[in-house]
Amino acid sequence: MVVRSGKDGADLALLEVLKDEHIEERFDEVVIVSGDGIFTDAVLVLREAGVFVTVVSRNDACSKRLRLAADQTVLVDMNVGEFGGVA
């Protein structure tokens, strides 16, 4: 588990893991559950290394660049209110 405070803190912490922990050497497939375009470059690097990348995101919140970068995109239609306003 990684955490970081501040603007885009969680995203930046996850990007650091993707970059620094040799994910491409350890896994054949990675699933990113986010629609944030900030992950686009990391997805491209993983794909270039031969990792199959799936992006899972809400239908209304997925960056077009991220969708195009991934091997596969799963768009879900969900109501954030079902989770008590937290998702």
**CATH code, domain with 20:** 3.40.50.1010
Q: Which of 61, 86, 85, 82 is nearest to 73 (CA)?
A: 61
pLDDT at 3: 78
54, 71 Cβ separation under 8 angstroms = yes
| 2 in any annotated domain | no
pLDDT 10s digits, 26-76: 999 999 999 999 999 999 999 999 999 999 999 889 999 999 999 999 999
Cα dihedral 14, 68, 26, 2 in deg (nearest 10): 10
| 3 in any annotated domain | no
In this structure, what token pair is assigned to residue 47? 């794909």
Q: Is 83 left (phi over 0), alpha (psi -120 to 50) or beta?
A: alpha
| 18 in any annotated domain | yes
pLDDT at 77: 86
pLDDT at 48: 97
Structural domain boundaries enclosing 14: 9-83
Quickly state the pLDDT bin for 79 (edges 50, 70, 90). low
Place of tokens 């650091």: 16
Q: Which of 75, 69, 38 is nearest to 52 (CA)?
A: 69
| 4 in any annotated domain | no
Quickly state the pLDDT bin for 80 (edges 50, 70, 90). low
pLDDT at 84: 59
The count of domains in the chain is 1
